[in-house]
Structure 1
Amino acid sequence: MSRAFLFATWSGGGAVPPTLSVARALRERGHGVRVLADRSLHDEVAASGAEPIAWTTAPQGDTTDPATDLLQDFQARTPMGAFARLRDRLVCGPAADFARDTLAELRARPADVLVADFSLLGTLTAGEAAGIPVAALGTTLYPFPTPGAPPFGPGLRPATGAAGRLRDRVLTELTTAPWAKGLPALNAARRAHGLAPVGSVMDAFGRVDRFLVLSPRALDYPSRRFPAHVRHVGPRLDDPAWAGRLELPSGDAPLVLVSLSSTFMGQRAVLERIAAALGTLPVRGLLTTGPAVAPATIRAPGNVLVTAVAPHRAALRHAAVTITHAGHGTAVKSLAEGVPLVCVPLGRDQREVARRVEFAGAGLTVRSSAPPGAIARAVTRVLRDSSYQGAARRLAAAIAAETATDRAVAELEALADGVAGRGDAAEPSGPPRAVSN
């Protein structure tokens, strides 16, 4: 039976392709799918087969253009400053605008299920007010506190012993406290649409029927336990519509794929240091700058091909190592092909992804300020030590098992048909996990 799904997303760089992959899969199964999105994304939305719908009062941007990027977190001097921009410019500050636009669309054309990027709390509020099933999409590791994992953000190792558990309790309080400044704006949006206020912003994130984590369960800590409404449904491995055609550098030396953020994060100098490092090694480099950095601005040696875009899934079939900022999409695509990583985190969720890669034994991390020599040594170590490739291949097998069926589609169809209440799975989503409430 055909159902109507309303998606909501924003120009959030790597979060967009996996979201539109789910939309495309539903459309291919005959469902009606439309997507509330920034106008800068409308071509991508249309390429997925879904109908693009513009925000009218909610803020919009384009992460490929630093001048119009909504968050401009690359201007923040500290991680807390970057977090404040996320809270005030997207999650809480404009919650009333996102709620207003979403409810207007739902009233004009009702939907059976609302599917929204988890960071759009205003949109999730609108779904709650409309009384329809709501699914939040998480396009990276589950970012909220849970038993069995350190607080999200700093990229800490899992705690051991009483001192480690105390560290986690203290840091959890410190890392969640800044959300309080966003609570008045969020509760104002809730009251405007007839909803009771919530006690904390963290409570609001949990007021959904499903939180679908588009990340491999195998990549997260085995000891971690999740709330009952959280489902790991496997990663989306599609390349974005703008990825273009594959061109490989000439020769038969080991291929190193280089990919930092598809958004602007001040990464030009890092890209040049990586290119310089590869110039000292007997490898071929395929360096993709992404839409936010012009290839002509990157100085590179002769064994490194610099291009704006490339289809990473195709390139990874030839690659021996990936050097990445540890953005979730590039990291998981690499692991799905059994390719180990050298991670160079720049910010956001990247320290957490890099830490999971290291924990699994599938790669190394170097600082974003590392000189070319340090980067070259890390690449050499990953190339020579077969344990990294072995760990990556084990993760590849786990990811293949997780993605053998489309669990995201199954969960969303079950919500649309009213057969899956909170805590009931449409189909198994991985190893048994305890519930934390």
Structure 2
Amino acid sequence: MPSSFLFATWAGGGAVPPVLSLARALRERGHGVRVMADTSLHDEIAAAGLEPIAWTTAPQGDPADPAKDVIRDFEARTPLGALARLRDRIVCGPAADYARDVRAELRARPADVLVCEHMLLGAVTAGEAAGVRVASLATTIYPFPTPGAPPPGPGFAPAKGIPGRVRDRLVTRLSGKPWAKGLPALNAARVANGLEPLGSVVEAFERVDRVLVLSPRALDHAGRRFPEHIRHVGARLEDPAWAGDLTLPDGDAPLVLVGMSSSFMKQHDLLQRIADALGTLPVRALLTTGPAVDPATVGAPANVRVTASAPHSLALRHAAVTVTHAGHGTTVKSLAAGVPMVCVPLGRDQIEVASHVRLAGAGVTVGKGSSARKIARAVEQVLNDRSYRAAAERMAEAIAAENATDQAVNELEVLASRHDKPAEPAAHTKEFAS
């Protein structure tokens, strides 16, 4: 029997395509699906055959345009400063606005399941207050500590010995503290919607029936343990609607695909250094700037084709190496195609994702300030050492097995069909929430 799903998402760059991919898959199964999102996403939502609904009071942004970016984390001087902007401008600060809009939509047109992008705690609050089933979508490696692995974020390798375990306990205790300043705004939203205040922001991320992690389980630490309500359901590998057509550079030299952030992260100078690096190598390259950078501003050597966009999933069928900021979307598409990587993290979750690529043996990492010469050496290293390709191909096999069935759709359909009382939220976050 068809069910009704209301999605709530925001203009979060690389988080958008996997959320819309899942929404589209539900629609193709015959379910009713509508998507609340920033108006900058409405064309993309409509292109996926979905019904867009605008926020009324919640923030509206476009991360491809620095002037319209809500978070503007590219202005932050430190990772903690970037996290504070996310907390204050999306997660907690406008929680009451997101909750108000979602409650109004649910009153006008009820849904069987509310599906929220993981960061929208205001939308989660609305679902809890309305008494509907709520699933949140984590569109990267699960970003909060769980037993059996180092706390995510800094890119730590698994602990070895007593010093490593002490490091993990200390960082785990500290990891919830940056969220504390967001608690008053979040609790104000909860109280306004008839809910009890919480003791920490981190607890709010778990007040859902399911957390669906849209990331390969094989990419995470093997020893990491998760509560039952957190389910790895495989990565979404579709390209965004704006990716366009594929035109490969001429020749038969090894192809290097360059894919950096789809949102503005001050990446222009890095793109130029990458182009300069590839110009010194016996390769051909397809460099995609993304919507945030005008391709005409990147000087292209003769062997480098610069374009705003291209369908990475198709280009990767021909690629020998990917040079990437280690955004989750580009990373998992590369791994799914068995293509090793040179990772150049810019911020956000990218240091963590790059660390997992490195630990899997499927690539190397260089700093975002690296010279063209250093980037060229890294590309040569990955091209010439067959072990990187072999590791990426092992990851491709694991991802293919995980994606043999659409686990995310199955989980949401089961959730929509349940008629028992929603479960109480899990308590595994309490050790680091205070």
- Which category describes the TM-score, using the shorter chain as reference length? over 0.9
**How far 1:147 moved relative to its partner?**
1.3
Alignment of 1:180-219 (within 5 A): 180-219=180-219
Q: State the shift of 1:169 in Å.
A: 1.2
| Matched residue, 1:65 | 65
Within 1, Cα distance between the matches of 2:351 and 2:419? 38
Tell whether 2:306 aligns with 1:306: yes
- Structure 2 residue ranges without an equivalent (≥5): none
Equivalent in the alignment of 1:239: 239
Deviations 1:334-380 (A, max 9, x none): 00000000000000000000000000000000000010111111111
Give 1:159 shift.
1.1
AA at the equivalent of 2:197: P
**Counterpart-to-counterpart distance in 2, 1:306 and 1:421:** 53
Q: 1:401-428: CA deviations, max 9, x gaps?
A: 01110000000000000079889xxxxx
1:336 paired with 2:345, answer: no
> What whole-Å deviation, never above 9, does each CA across 1:101-160 have from its counterpart, x for those lacking one?
000000000000000001000000000001011000000000001112222221122211
Map of 1:394 onto structure 2: 394
Q: Give the Å deviation of 1:247.
A: 0.5
Hey, what's the Cα distance between the residues in 2 that align with 1:145 and 1:218?
17
Cα displacement (A) at 1:218: 0.4
Q: Which runs of 4+ in 1 moved over 3 A?
A: 419-423
| Amino acid across the alignment from 1:400 | A
Q: How many Å separate the matches in 2 of 1:419 and 1:110?
A: 15
Change (3 A) 1:165 1:109: same
Equivalences, count: 426
What secondary structure is seen at the aligned counterpart in 2 of 1:67? helix
1:166 equivalent in structure 2: 166
**1:429 counterpart residue number:** none
> What residue in structure 1 maps to residue 227 of structure 2?
227
Give 1:35's aligned residue: 35
SS at match of 1:265: coil
Q: Which amino acid aligns with 2:41?
A: L
Displacement, 1:174? 2.2
* Correspondence for 1:288: 288
Residue 355 of structure 1 aligns to a residue in which SS?
helix
1:268–1:298 contact (8 Å) kept in structure 2: yes
Q: CA RMSD in A?
A: 1.3
Structure 1 CA distance, aligned partners of 2:60 and 2:167? 38
CA distance in 1, matches of 2:163, 2:345: 27
Offset at 1:436?
A: 8.5
| TM-score relative to the length of structure 1 | 0.96
CA contact (8 A) 1:321 1:383 kept: yes
Residue 47 of structure 2 corresponds to 47
Q: For residue 68 of structure 2, give the secondary structure of its aligned residue in structure 1.
A: coil
Any conservation in 2 of the 1:259–1:324 contact (CA below 8 Å)? yes
CA contact (8 A) 1:187 1:197 kept: yes
CA apart distance, 1:176: 1.6
- Alignment CA distance shift 1:420-1:270 (3 Å): farther
**1:329 partner SS:** helix
What CA deviation, in whole Å up to 9, does each residue of 1:260-310 have, x standing for no partner?
100000000000111111011000010000000000011121100000000
- Matched residue, 1:96: 96
Q: Deviations over 1:63-112 (max 9, x none)?
A: 11010001000011111110100000000000000000000000000000
Contact 2:202 2:429 in 1 (8 A): no
- Measured in 1, the distance between the counterparts of 2:12 and 2:293 equals 16
Q: Is the 8 A contact 2:261 2:327 kept in 1?
A: yes
Structure 2 Cα separation of the partners of residues 66 and 371 of structure 1: 25
In the superposition, relative to structure 1, how do residues 413 and 376 fare at CA in structure 2: closer, same or farther (>3 Å)?
same
Q: Distance in 2 between matches of 1:176 and 1:363?
A: 30
Q: Give 2:60's aligned amino acid.
A: Q
Distance (Å, rounded) in 2 between the aligned partners of 1:166 and 1:157: 14
Instruction: Check the 8 A contact 1:35/1:45 in 2, yes or no.
Output: yes
* Maintained 8 Å contact 1:226/1:436: no
**Counterpart contact for 1:38–1:61, Cα < 8 Å:** yes
Match of 1:132 in 2: 132
**Matching of residue 252 in structure 1 with residue 252 in structure 2:** yes
2:249 partner letter: P
Local SS of the residue matching 2:82: helix
SS in 1 for 2:241: coil
Distance 1:436 1:401, change over 3 A: farther
Instruction: Note the C-alpha offset of 1:47.
Output: 1.3
Alignment match, 2:118 = 118
State how far apart, in whole Å, the 1-side matches of 2:284 and 2:108 are.
54
C-alpha distance in structure 2 between counterparts of 1:150 and 1:22, whole Å: 29
